[in-house]
Amino acid sequence: MYPSSDGKPLAENDWQLEAILSSVDILRGHFGERPDVYVSGDLLVYYEEENPRKAVAPVVFVVFGAANHNRMIYKLWEEPKAPDFVLEVASRSTWREDLGAKRSIYAALGVTEYWLFDPKDQYFDPPLQGLVLSDGAYRPLPARVESGRRTLSSAVLGLDLQVEDGKLRFRDAATGEPLPTYAEQRAAYRAAQARIEELEARLAAAGSANTR
């Protein structure tokens, strides 16, 4: 009765795909140790029981207070609450819906923060926008400039969001440190392994020299 797919592609281009996958990966990594935080993307959220037409598929969303386990779909009447944070990534065929129908649905569901990102800077001005629900309607979150970059804060996530070289970055609000992507984590791991191997080689060479 409640399909797990709407038949639509996840993304229309590589810029949109990278933004979606990277955001889900980063947020899952950040909140992964918490059993009460659920992070997902492009998952159908059904919001009216016995009416499978009443569904929306946020490309990235976070729910605080929902169990952290895999799901086929997200049914609001079986879950503790609606998403607290939703991010939509613009494409040629979706940006109007992001600004219109989806915005209205998320407000009606009580989604606290609604974010919009345009990786190609073609549809939204500015390309990164954060909205917070107030009295049933969304109002823009204030932006500030840090290190030459426009920065917005998500009170829901406890993170700052920026656009850096066309990519969406999440930063720890307390330390200012960026949350690493999977690729960055792999690169850091490889660099650490190389340093360990270099140190081991030096120690082995020093030990060999001392035994002569």
Residues 167 and 155 in one domain: yes
Q: What is the pLDDT of residues 160-175, one digit of tens each?
A: 999 999 999 999 998 8
Total domain count, the chain: 2
Which residue range forms the structural domain that includes residue 212?
A: 180-212
Nearest CA to 37 out of 157, 199, 177, 212 is that of: 157
| CA gap 78, 51 in Å, rounded | 14
* pLDDT value for 211: 67
Residues forming a β-bridge with 184: none
Count of CB atoms situated within 10 Å of the CB of 185: 14
Residues 52 and 144 in one domain: yes
Residues 209 and 157 in one domain: no
Please check whether residue 22 lies inside any domain of the structure.
yes
Q: What is the pLDDT of residues 14-64, one digit of tens each?
A: 999 999 999 999 999 999 999 999 999 999 999 999 999 999 999 999 999
Listed range (82-96, 146-160, 179-193) with the worst mean pLDDT: 179-193
DSSP letter at 77 equals G
* pLDDT value for 188: 63
